[in-house]
Chains A and B, each alone.
Chain A
C-alpha cells in the first residue's frame, strides 16, 4: 500500500483531519495570536504586543505564586509517589498471597475523575481538621498537603503497575546468581533491581511531573484556590484569570501560552533522556 489513489487517502484521513483542525489546530493558532491582543469575544481583538505577558507578572502576584506552588507540588509529589509506588511494586513482586487483589485495590483510585476525588478528600480532610476548628481553606499549606495526599492516592497505583512491569522484566538468573554469590535481599535490591528499573523510573518521573503540572480538576474541587487563590496551581490560575474577571482574557491567554511552553519543555527533556538511555542499553 505504498501508493494510494488520492480519493482513498482523503477517505481515510479527512474525518480525523477535519475534527483536528476545528478542535485543535485553529484554536491553537488563534490562542497564540490572541495572547498578543486585548479581547473579550475574539472578534474585538486589538493588538497589544507583549503587554499581556508583562501584565501576567506585574498585574498581581497570582501567576508567580501559582508557578511556585506548582513547582513545589511537583517536586514533593514526584518524590513521594515514586518512592511509595516502587516500595509497593517491590513488595507485590515477592511471593505474598493475594498480590493480584492488592494490585487491583491500589490501582482503583486512578480511574476516578479528578472532581470526584477532590470532594472525597475534602470530606476526609475537613473531617479531621474540624477537630482543630479549621478547614482546608484556612491556609494554603493545608491545601498543598491535601493535594499531595490526594495525588499520591490517585497516582501511586498507576506508577506501581509500571514498576511491577519493570521488576518482572529482570531475569531470574541474574537474581539467582547474586543469591549464590551470597548477596542479601538489600544488596539485591540496591545493586540489581534499582539499576535495572531505571527506565521505568524515568517514565514514572515524567508522567508524575507532567500530571502534577497539568493538575486542574482535583485542585478545583478540593480547594478551588482558597484561601484567596493561594492554593491555586497554574492551570486553575489560568482558568480564574480567564473567567473570573471580564477584561483579563488576553492575560489569561498569555499565561496559557507560557503554561504550554513549560509543559512542552518538560516533555522534550523527557524525550531527550529516554532516547539517550535507549542508546546506552
Chain B
C-alpha cells in the first residue's frame, strides 16, 4: 500500500514536471531565438543556434536602437510607479471618507465608482482620448490622472471592503485624543490599511505596466511605453526584424519576472483577493 502510493506520487511528480517544462517552453524559445540571426528565426524557430546562425547580442543592440527601448522602459517605469502611487494614496482617502461618512452623496459616489468597473475600455476609448487632448493630459504626467480616474473603481471597491471591517473605536479614540480627520487618516487608518495597499498596488501595477491601448491612444505618437514599442516593431508584414523582436520580447518579460519572483507571495495573494472581490 505504502509502496503504491510512493509510485503514484512519483508518476504525478514527473507529469507535473513535464507540464511545467511545457509551460516554460514558449518563453525559453523566445530567449533562444533572441540569440539567432534575424533571418534564421521565422523559418526554423525550433532549431538551436549554430555557429552560422548565432548572432550573440547583436539583436539586443538593433532592437534597443530601433524601438527606443531605453526611453520606453523609462516611460513605462515612470507612468507605472507614479500612477500606482497616486491611485493608492487618493483612492484610499476617498474610500475611507465615503465609507465612514454616511450620506446620500457618499453612496452615490460609491455606486458610480463600482459601476465604472464593469465598463470595458473600448466604450470610452475615443471620448477619453479626446478629453485627454482637451485637458492637456496627453503626456506621461497627465496620463497619471487618467489612470487614477479609470482605476478608481476597483481600488475604491477593494479599500472600502476592507475599511468596513475595521472597528470604529480605533478612529474614535484618535479623535478623542485630538486628531482631526487628516491626522486620523494618515496616522491611524493608513497604517492599518498597509496590507490592502499592497494588494491594490500590485493589481494596478500589473494592469498599468502591461496596458497597451490607453497609452497608445493618448500618448503613443510621442511617448512609447514598452508594449507600444514592441507593437511598433511589427511594421508591415515580412519587413519586420524578427531578431530585434525576439530581443525586445525578452527585455519586456525580464522586469516582470524579476518583479514576480521577488514579490511572489504578495502578488499571488493580491491577485486572489482582487479576483474574489472583483
**Chain A residues packing against B (C-beta within 8 Å):** 1-5, 8-9, 11-13, 15-28, 30-31, 34, 41-42, 88, 91-92, 94-98, 101-116, 119-121, 123-124, 126-127, 130, 153, 158, 161-162, 165, 203, 207, 213-214, 216-217, 220-221, 235, 238-239, 242, 249, 252-253, 256-257, 259-260, 263-264, 267
Q: Which residue of chain A has the shortest Cβ distance to B21 in the bound complex?
A: A105
A-side contacts of B44, CB under 8 Å: 127
Given known contacts A96-B9, A111-B206, is B23 in contact with A24 (CB within 8 Å)?
A: no
B-side contacts of A104, CB under 8 Å: 261, 264
Cα distance, A16 to B131, chains bound together (Å):
17
Q: Are B123 and A260 in contact (CB under 8 A)?
A: yes
Q: Is the interface of A mostly helix, strand, loop or mixed?
A: helix
Cβ 8 A contact of B227, one of A41, A106, A217, A259: A217
Q: Which residue of chain B has the shortest Cβ distance to A99 in the bound complex?
A: B16
Q: How large is the interface on B (under 10, 10 to 19, 20 to 34, 35 or more residues)?
A: 35 or more
Q: Are A97 and B13 in contact (CB under 8 A)?
A: yes
Cα distance, A11 to B33, chains bound together (Å):
53
A-side contacts of B242, CB under 8 Å: 123
Q: Are A13 and B264 in contact (CB under 8 A)?
A: no
Given known contacts A12-B97, A98-B13, is B156 in contact with A119 (CB within 8 Å)?
A: no
Please, could you name 18 A-B residue pairs with CB atoms under 8 Å apart, sorted by A?
Answer: A4-B181, A12-B181, A13-B93, A16-B156, A19-B145, A22-B146, A24-B152, A24-B153, A28-B124, A41-B130, A91-B15, A106-B20, A112-B252, A113-B211, A116-B230, A116-B249, A239-B213, A264-B119
B-side contacts of A98, CB under 8 Å: 13, 16
Q: Are B122 and A256 in contact (CB under 8 A)?
A: yes
Write out, one digit per residue, whether chain B residues 5-31 have a CB within 8 A of any chain A CB (1) or not (0).
Answer: 000010011011001100111110110
Interface centre among A96, A119, A126, A257 (most CB of B within 10 A): A119
A-side contacts of B45, CB under 8 Å: 123-124, 126-127
Cα distance, A260 to B119, chains bound together (Å):
6
Q: Which residue of chain A has the shortest Cβ distance to B180 in the bound complex?
A: A8
Q: Are B12 and A27 in contact (CB under 8 A)?
A: no
Cα distance, A153 to B29, chains bound together (Å):
15
Q: Are B145 and A22 in contact (CB under 8 A)?
A: yes
Q: Which residue of chain B has the shortest Cβ distance to A5 in the bound complex?
A: B181
Q: Which residue of chain B has the shortest Cβ distance to A104 in the bound complex?
A: B264
Q: Are B137 and A26 in contact (CB under 8 A)?
A: no
Cβ 8 A contact of B275, one of A106, A108, A158, A252: A158
Cβ 8 A contact of A42, one of B102, B121, B127: B127
B-side contacts of A2, CB under 8 Å: 100-102
